[in-house]
Amino acid sequence: MRDFTIWADPHRGQMFAQVMTKSAAKGGPATYEVLGAAGEPLGDGIRLPAVAPVEVPPRGGLPSLNEIVRVRIPRM
């Protein structure tokens, strides 16, 4: 479980939103609740787990390894 704050300014003087984990399971999607500075609900988010690494051979070079991550945030 992980919670974090999104600040409205670089000096952390005013909070913009609080992101709170609702549920998370190893290997499964994680769901989050996003609350505004006054505690009002702004929405929910889902983080899908990363898929297996994919080997991408560039033209004329050695293959590189890239990890693909999908993030989907549903609208209210």
66 pLDDT exceeds 80?
Answer: no
In this prediction, residue 63 carries a pLDDT of 47
Q: What is the CA radius of gyration of the chain?
A: 17
Mean pLDDT of 2-6: 87
Structure tokens given for 47: 């983080």
What is the tens place of the pLDDT at every residue in 6-55? 898 888 899 989 999 998 888 888 889 999 999 999 888 888 877 655 55
Q: Which residues, listed in sequence order, are joined to residue 19 by a DSSP beta bridge?
A: 4, 34
The torsion region of residue 22 among left (phi > 0), alpha (psi -120 to 50) and beta comes to: alpha
Burial class (CB in 10 A: 0-12, 13-18, 19+), 44: middle
Contact 3, 19 (CB under 8 A): yes
